[in-house]
Copies of this chain bind each other. A is one copy, B any other.
């Protein structure tokens, strides 16, 4: 097996993309964002330009600038900066992958193209292979999120023989609720891949099934809690892990009852962190501040934070 890169484990925050009030990318907020994650949340790895980062609403040029700034500011501070380079257009993805290699990203990740959907796991693997080949020395992750992409292929089938096609393959971000599929990925190749689980509200179930890390948007503001959950599970303290998981569930279900989407999520992060993340980009609409504030209050109440 190849020796590229170190394995991504532990907690990874899927970062929001800071925009100016007018909707342009706001590079100046990235430095403070990284410091906030490290100092206030204990989060040492990030996943940028992904779903949470509105990557697919950005231009290729914007994604490059953002990736560059995240890598530059994260250097010698963060453990891992994984850059999501998935696009509907294979060529755009290849360009972003090549660029990620140039700027020294610790890993790249690719989501399944979702407009034209790959008909088989083999077709998806070929797409991933073509992207990975544009950055052969960078650890490669497949980003599995069928409820969003509508690509209802089993991740396990996508993994079949993947190392022979993608020597830089290092694992997956699994954002699905099908824990049989997840378990079968883990049992297929348990030792040297990263199994990063992405449905934050049921992480504990995935840890039981063998996850060795987690990537999600909530770790932006629930990083400490997430680290405690990981640690409790590792020590075999299921009771504590369950309490911590139930807290996350309480907060998220409160949010969902109010109407929770990426726009609200972004505004919630601004509320909790004090960072100026700005509005989302169309077709998402800025959420009413009162809604985000109400969720932030619930969060503080549940976590027992002032």
Q: Are B57 and A115 in contact (CB under 8 A)?
A: yes
A142 to B62, CA, bound (A): 27
* Residue-wise interface mask of A (237-264) relative to B, using a CB-CB cutoff of 8 A (1 in contact, 0 not): 0100110011001101100000001100
Q: Are A249 and B180 in contact (CB under 8 A)?
A: yes
Q: Are B210 and A208 in contact (CB under 8 A)?
A: no
Q: Are B179 and A126 in contact (CB under 8 A)?
A: no
Q: Across the interface, which residues of B come within 8 angstroms of A238, CB to CB?
A: 208, 236
A262 to B116, CA, bound (A): 9
A115 to chain B, nearest CB (A): 4
- Name the interface residues of A270-297: CB closer than 8 Å to any CB of B: 281-285
- The interface-forming segment of A2-10, A31-39, A85-93, A98-106 is A85-93
Q: Does A305 contact B (CB under 8 A)?
A: no
- Quick one: which of A91, A118, A127 has the most chain B CB within 10 A? A91
Q: Are A57 and B283 in contact (CB under 8 A)?
A: no
Q: Across the interface, which residues of B come within 8 angstroms of A57, CB to CB?
A: 88-90, 113, 115-116
* Residue-wise interface mask of A (36-48) relative to B, using a CB-CB cutoff of 8 A (1 in contact, 0 not): 0000000000000
Q: Does A206 contact B (CB under 8 A)?
A: yes
A233 to chain B, nearest CB (A): 8
Q: Are B202 and A113 in contact (CB under 8 A)?
A: no
Q: A238-B236, A246-B183 are in contact. Are A127 and B283 (CB under 8 A)?
A: yes
Q: A56-B88, A245-B209, A253-B184 are in contact. Are A282 and B126 (CB under 8 A)?
A: yes
Q: Does A204 contact B (CB under 8 A)?
A: yes
- Across the two chains, which residue of chain B brings its CB closest to A241? B208
Q: A89-B57, A126-B282, A253-B180 are in contact. Are A209 and B204 (CB under 8 A)?
A: yes
* Residue-wise interface mask of A (124-166) relative to B, using a CB-CB cutoff of 8 A (1 in contact, 0 not): 1011001000000000000000001010000010000000000
Q: A184-B249, A242-B210 are in contact. Are A116 and B56 (CB under 8 A)?
A: yes
* Residue-wise interface mask of A (192-233) relative to B, using a CB-CB cutoff of 8 A (1 in contact, 0 not): 000000010110111111100000000000000000000000
Q: Does A75 contact B (CB under 8 A)?
A: no
A residues sitting closer than 8 Å to B (CB atoms) are: 54, 56-60, 62, 88-92, 112-120, 123-124, 126-127, 130, 148, 150, 156, 177-180, 183-184, 186-187, 199, 201-202, 204-210, 236, 238, 241-242, 245-246, 249-250, 252-253, 261-262, 281-285
Q: Can you sample 21 A-B contacts with CB below 8 Å?
A: A56-B89, A57-B89, A57-B115, A60-B60, A90-B281, A114-B115, A116-B283, A119-B284, A119-B285, A126-B282, A156-B253, A179-B179, A180-B252, A180-B253, A183-B249, A204-B209, A205-B205, A208-B241, A208-B242, A209-B242, A236-B238
Pairs of residues from A and B, 4 with the lowest C-beta to C-beta distance, nearest first: A205-B205, A179-B202, A118-B283, A208-B208
Seed contacts A90-B282, A124-B283; 5 additional CB < 8 Å A-B pairs: A119-B285, A126-B285, A156-B253, A177-B179, A202-B209
